[in-house]
Amino acid sequence: MATPPLPPRHLVSPAAVWMAVAVAVCVLAVLPVLGVALIATGSSDGLWSHLVANVLPRATVDTLILMAGVGLLVTVVGTGCAWLVTACDFPGRRVLEWALLLPLAVPTYIVAFCYADVLHPLGAGPTALRALLGITNPRDLPLPDVRSMGGAIFVIGIVLYPYVYVPARALFAMQAANVLEASRTLGASRWRTFRSVALPLAWPAIAAGTSLALMETLNDIGASSFLGIQTLTVSIYTTWLNRSSLVGASQIAMLLLALVLLLVLVERGARRGRRFAATARQMRPLHPRPLSGTAGRITALLVSLPVVLGFVVPVAHLANEAAARVRFAGLSPVLFGEMVNTVILALIATPITVLFGLVVAYAVRRSRRAAAVAVVRVAGLGYAVPGTVLAIGLVTALATADAWIGAVARWATGVPTGLFLTASGAALIYAYVVRFLAIAANGVEAGLANIPTALDDAASVLKADRLRTMVRIHVPILWPALAAAGLLVFVDVMKELPATLLLRPVGFETLATHVFAEASRGTYEDGAVAALLIVLAGLGPVVLLSRLGRPRHAGRPPGPEADVLRV
């Protein structure tokens, strides 16, 4: 008589369970985009024809010009600084190596407000310049207006160039001296060696960093609107709030999403087929060439200029204005409440985002199939979608959920709940989680990549299930990566503006909305303290990135910061 087969130990494999949970997270990330598409199919009562004729042409042109200008600026500044601090040794290099990350701590809208005040005809900059030149009448020294397309490109670009600098520096540090010296041996000049050898090898990192900076440019609403640039993102905001047309705003949002998709495709195409691999057994590290005298001083001046313009000038202005405000009127009690609101939102959104990122990244580790990689890409979609678009998409999803909750509550208790989710701040938490899920997932995935799979095999031999293995083995080892991802998400939530402006409950203000409101009224000094608090909070991740991002050995792969900044 044949022995019956043993029953399967697991009806469903653990990998399938993890993948199912990760897919559920991805569905949550995609829902806002589907909500935008659903709203856009409605009728705008003739507003769309007005938008097509009078709003979209200018908004599209302004958006494309702004992206082209910012893309060029961040590429040149980020790549140039990355190469100089990697290939040259000049006075102050070790300080500038991490100081070049400091502009990341200052949101673009705060830098815009600062420069609008500093470069005002009666501001500190023109006043000091006139005193130096002996000019008394401001009309005798006309200066470019920062409230212009050129001003917007400068402000946004000087803040976002670290998105290119960080991965480009990591890729330059990977390059072996053998390869570059071979080019020099064949008679190529230093410039030609950089242009023909070093730059093409680092192009994948440069393209990825530029793409990320352009996505941040598309997400910007504070700097663009304040400087008078009518981008598609600003048009979504004004159409929704000023014209009270959610359908019209959704239709513009679909156009913006198409632009984001085009940007992603262009970036992927630019990196296609370009990979760097070191095949030499003895790969000599790239040692920086010493620069002294005039050459060293000029190089130090050039590399320090982005730090001065992107961090020192705006932060010094903020500190001065904040001190003057405190001396004159003290700290506003309203500011304390807004700081509490900001911290509470960040404390709620951060652990949820990191937990979801851990689920998605662990699903990829459990299953290395193409479907798992697709899950990570879909989960990171929110980072590529501007906050205004997420806000519009969440309106439909949460309004539907509110209707279901209200129906159940009326049936069970007879008491209507109203806009339970929308008015409670849940919409903001949802938007933050979707928006910054990619940061958490990529950071955790980078940490998991450093854990050998032999530990998983050993745990399996000892009969430990996958959940226990993750809790007892992976999470303790992953703690630095989890902390880094959590810190980045926490600060990004604190300074997020577009989604917060559109989804915050009535009467609910954060530090970011406080700064935007004061700047919109022209009372910059009243928002200086709040802006300075946001900047100080952003210094933590910058210090962390500078410590993680310093290449210990040339030839090693890019550090964790390249994975954290990757989309």
pLDDT reported for residue 307? 94
What is d(CA 559, CA 397) in angstroms, rounded to the nearest whole number?
A: 38
Tell me the backbone φ, ψ of residue 364, rounded to 5 degrees.
-65, -40
Mean pLDDT, all residues of the chain? 78
In this structure, the number of other CB atoms found within 10 A of the CB of residue 123 comes to 17
Bridge partner residues of 290 (DSSP):
89
Among 82-91, 381-390, 486-495, name the one with the lowest average pLDDT.
Answer: 381-390
Q: Side-chain half-sphere of 406: how many Cα atoms within 13 Å?
A: 13
pLDDT reported for residue 419? 67
**Strands annotated E in 222-323:** 289-290
What are 357-411's pLDDT values in tens digits? 888 877 776 666 666 667 666 777 777 778 888 888 887 777 777 778 777 777 7
pLDDT reported for residue 401? 77
Q: Which residues contact 275 (CB under 8 A, 6 or more apart)?
A: 204
Distances (CA, A) of 14 to 5, 6, 18, 190, 365: 22, 19, 6, 54, 12
pLDDT reported for residue 68? 94
What are 420-445's pLDDT values in tens digits? 676 677 888 988 998 888 888 877 77
Residue listed under structure tokens 């109203």: 418
What are 257-301's pLDDT values in tens digits? 888 878 877 776 665 655 544 444 445 556 777 887 888 899 999
pLDDT reported for residue 457? 61
pLDDT reported for residue 246? 81
pLDDT of residue 463 exceeding 70, the answer is: no
- What does the H/E/C string look like for 104-115? HHCCHHHHHHHH
Directed axis angle between helix 313-329 and helix 528-549, to 10°? 140
Q: Are 439 and 492 within 8 A, CB to CB?
A: yes
Helices (H) and strands (E) in the chain, counts: 29, 2
pLDDT of residue 303 exceeding 90, the answer is: yes
When pLDDT is cut at 50, 70 and 90, the band that residue 169 belongs to is: confident
> Residues 503, 507, 512, 516: what is their CA dihedral angle, to the nearest 10 degrees?
100
Average pLDDT over residues 195-220: 80
Report residue 230 as tokens: 């009518």
What are 513-529's pLDDT values in tens digits? 888 888 777 676 677 88
Q: Which residues of 237-264 are buried (b: 16+ CB within 10 A; e: fewer)?
A: bbbbeeeebbbbbbbbbbbbbebbeebb
What is d(CA 519, CA 513) in angstroms, rounded to the nearest whole number?
A: 10
pLDDT reported for residue 156? 95
pLDDT of residue 28 exceeding 90, the answer is: no
Q: Are 123 and 341 within 8 A, CB to CB?
A: no
pLDDT reported for residue 42? 80
Residue listed under structure tokens 């369970």: 17
Average pLDDT over residues 160-185: 72
Q: What angle do CA 418, 422, 426 make, to 5 degrees?
A: 125
Average pLDDT over residues 550-556: 44
Q: Which one-letter amino acid corresponds to residue 117? A: D
pLDDT of residue 553 exceeding 50, the answer is: no
Among 149-163, 211-225, 370-384, 490-504, name the one with the lowest average pLDDT.
Answer: 370-384
Residue listed under structure tokens 């709003």: 55
Q: Are 274 and 204 within 8 A, CB to CB?
A: yes
Residue listed under structure tokens 């991002």: 549
**Better pLDDT: 552 or 161:** 161
What is d(CA 515, CA 521) in angstroms, rounded to the nearest whole number?
A: 10
Cα dihedral sign, 457-463-466-471: negative
Among 1-5, 200-204, 405-409, 512-516, name the one with the lowest average pLDDT.
Answer: 1-5
When pLDDT is cut at 50, 70 and 90, the band that residue 352 belongs to is: very high
Report residue 388 as tokens: 């205004």
**pTM of the predicted model, to two decimals?**
0.80
pLDDT reported for residue 556? 40
pLDDT of residue 339 exceeding 60, the answer is: yes
What is d(CA 219, CA 311) in angstroms, rounded to the nearest whole number?
A: 21
**Better pLDDT: 455 or 68:** 68
**Better pLDDT: 468 or 551:** 468
Average pLDDT over residues 318-330: 82
When pLDDT is cut at 50, 70 and 90, the band that residue 562 belongs to is: very low
**Better pLDDT: 501 or 76:** 76
What is d(CA 128, CA 533) in angstroms, rounded to the nearest whole number?
A: 27
pLDDT over 90 percentage in the chain:
12
Report residue 62 as tokens: 């302004």
pLDDT of residue 19 exceeding 70, the answer is: yes
Nearest to 119 by CA among 532, 111, 529: 111
Nearest to 159 by CA among 231, 106, 214: 106
What is d(CA 365, CA 109) in angstroms, rounded to the nearest whole number?
A: 38
Among 6-15, 96-105, 441-450, top mean pLDDT goes to 96-105
Q: What angle do CA 488, 490, 492 make, to 5 degrees?
A: 70
pLDDT reported for residue 348? 93
What residues does each domain of the chain span?
15-40+47-550+560-564
Q: How far is CA 36 from the centre of its chain?
A: 22
Q: Are 361 and 445 within 8 A, CB to CB?
A: yes
Looking at domain 15-40+47-550+560-564, its CATH superfamily turns out to be MetI-like (1.10.3720.10)
When pLDDT is cut at 50, 70 and 90, the band that residue 177 belongs to is: low
**Better pLDDT: 302 or 48:** 302
Q: Which residues contact 286 (CB under 8 A, 6 or more apart)?
A: 86, 87, 172, 173, 175, 176, 177, 180, 554
pLDDT over 70 percentage in the chain:
75
Among 46-55, 100-109, 200-209, top mean pLDDT goes to 100-109
Nearest to 248 by CA among 500, 49, 420, 468: 49
